[in-house]
Amino acid sequence: MTLLATDAPNPWFSTSYLESNYETILSALREHVILTVVSVALGVIVAFPLAVLARRSRGLSAAILGGSTIVYTIPSLAMFAFLFPFLGLTIELVIVGLALYSLVILVRNFLAGLQGVPAEAREAALGMGYGPGRMLFQVEIPMALPTFFAGLRIATVSTVALATVGVIVGYGGLGNVLISGFNNNFFRAPIAAASVLTVLLALALDLILAVTARLLTPWSRGRASV
Amino acid sequence: MSALGDAFRYLNDPLNWTRPRGLLELFVEHLTISGVAVGAAALIALPIAIALGHTGRGGGFTVALSNVSRAVPTLALLTVFAVTPIGFGNEATTIALTLFAIPPILTNTYVGFREVDRDILEAAGAMGMSPLQLVFKVELPLAVPAIMTGLRTSAVQVVATATLAALVGGGGLGVPIALGFGQQNEGLVLAGALLVALLALLVEGVLVLLSRLVSPSSGRVSVRRRRRVAAEPL
């Protein structure tokens, strides 16, 4: 095995590899973006009502936080394995698995954001005659946006990293390129290209979300929302 | 469900545990890799974090480190290691996992030190404590809940990540899962998943108990209330 790895030239960055394989890499990148965006979007759709519900009762919020700790602790490979009998070797399996993890991160941050709304703001809105719906959408959600976005950024960045593990069922986006390099006599060029692209994708999405958060919450610019 | 039945049948067969490269051997391998990685990471991260936390320097660095480490996929690092002279196998896995175990310990310890009440430090200084005494008799005991949170986050993360080693020729409890996926054997996949998930939950539970035991009397509250820094699913 070591012979094979050292005999032929095996550069980290090879323009000829990139030239002849850019279609493969681009489609892997596209799959990676789809996996990430769909999973996080699913996570948001489920996490939001859960957080609103959880706020109403202490028991429910304890149950949701406890359950999320358990989901969080389960290794990704095991999570995909648990879903395998239900979903088979499909892209849906990867999406559901990733959505579960992002859901867990998001519901905590959404809940923290809603709970962090100052009571004074709520009372003032109540005094001005706001009903529960307007209170939620015009007072509480805008005030909780920085915390929402903090959670969204964490969820997105970890989903990009985690999506590579989807290679176990053949849908890992850039993870497919990574492992194909490993399986092709430890070919370095695809491994390096996929690793760099994954990190860049995570940073790019993080930047987009950070800029969006700044644009949506101009009042919080002084405070850092990590 | 038949897959679950197959999984239990597989787990119930003693030969699957005791044969060479059986579950028992993989289990021990998994725990050894994880234990060494977390131990090494603690040896590296704790002195640095204590120095940084005591002096208050490098706050931006620790936060940046934990953010960047979240963006680097473990699978990518394991694969990159496999094609360097480090190679693959248990040693390479241990080194990769050590790197991933450092940021949570570093960040949480740093934050724990910085969160020590300034008044307490002033009082201790006024009582004539030397800087070294301040670190070991005041700051360190008060930062124990935060340090334990860091260690727990790291340990759970490492135990989870160690399963990925099986994708790049390594050992540990990821082996039955990877093998099962390769053979489309639902029972084997589930059996491996059950073991890994149980192990991760067990490590989390044991470390929660341990941190309650070693924390000062008020630690119980602060351990539960403290938000994890840089925790991520793996």
CATH number for the domain harbouring residue A46: 1.10.3720.10
Chain B residues touching A76 at Cβ < 8 A: 160, 164, 233-234
Q: What percent of chain B shows pLDDT beyond 70?
A: 91
Give the mutation candidate from B67, B78, B83 for the A interface (greatest A CB count, under 10 A): B83
Domain span holding position A157: 14-220
Q: Looking at the domain assignment, is residue B134 inside a domain?
A: yes
Cα distance between residue A58 and residue A54, in whole Å = 7
Question: What's the confidence (pLDDT) of residue A7?
Answer: 58
SS3 annotation, B99-145 = HHHHHHHHHHHHHHHHCCCHHHHHHHHHCCCCHHHHHHHHHHHHHHH
**pLDDT tens string A141-198:** 999 998 999 999 999 998 998 999 898 888 988 999 888 888 877 778 888 889 999 9
Q: Looking at the domain assignment, is residue A183 inside a domain?
A: yes
Top-confidence residue, B22 or B110: B110
From the CA atom positions of chain B, what is the Rg in Å?
Answer: 20
Q: Is residue A35 within 8 Å of A88, Cβ to Cβ?
A: no
Q: Looking at the domain assignment, is residue B108 inside a domain?
A: yes
CATH number for the domain harbouring residue B151: 1.10.3720.10
Q: Looking at the domain assignment, is residue B230 inside a domain?
A: no
Q: Looking at the domain assignment, is residue A192 inside a domain?
A: yes
User: What's the whole-model pTM score?
Assistant: 0.81
Interchain contact, B181 vs A84, CB within 8 Å: yes
Interchain contact, A158 vs B70, CB within 8 Å: yes
Q: Looking at the domain assignment, is residue A9 inside a domain?
A: no
Interchain contact, A154 vs B76, CB within 8 Å: no
Query: Å from B125 to nearest chain A CA?
Result: 32
Chain A to chain B Cβ contacts (< 8 Å):
152
Q: Looking at the domain assignment, is residue B58 inside a domain?
A: yes
Top-confidence residue, A117 or B222: A117
Q: Looking at the domain assignment, is residue B195 inside a domain?
A: yes
Cα distance between residue B187 and residue B180, in whole Å = 8
Q: Looking at the domain assignment, is residue B234 inside a domain?
A: no
**pLDDT tens string B72-90:** 888 888 888 877 777 777 8
Q: How far apart are the first and last CA of chain A?
A: 45
Q: Looking at the domain assignment, is residue A139 inside a domain?
A: yes
Q: Looking at the domain assignment, is residue B141 inside a domain?
A: yes
Q: Is the pLDDT of residue A223 over 90?
A: no
Domain span holding position B56: 2-225
Give the mutation candidate from B79, B93, B158, B227 for the A interface (greatest A CB count, under 10 A): B79
Q: Exposed/middle/buried for A10, CB within 10 Å: 0-12, 13-18, 19+?
A: middle
Q: Looking at the domain assignment, is residue B231 inside a domain?
A: no
Interchain contact, A78 vs B1, CB within 8 Å: no
Confidence band (pLDDT; 50, 70, 90) for A100?
Answer: very high
Cα distance between residue B80 and residue B87, in whole Å = 9
- The total number of structural domains in chain B stands at 1
- The total number of structural domains in chain A stands at 1
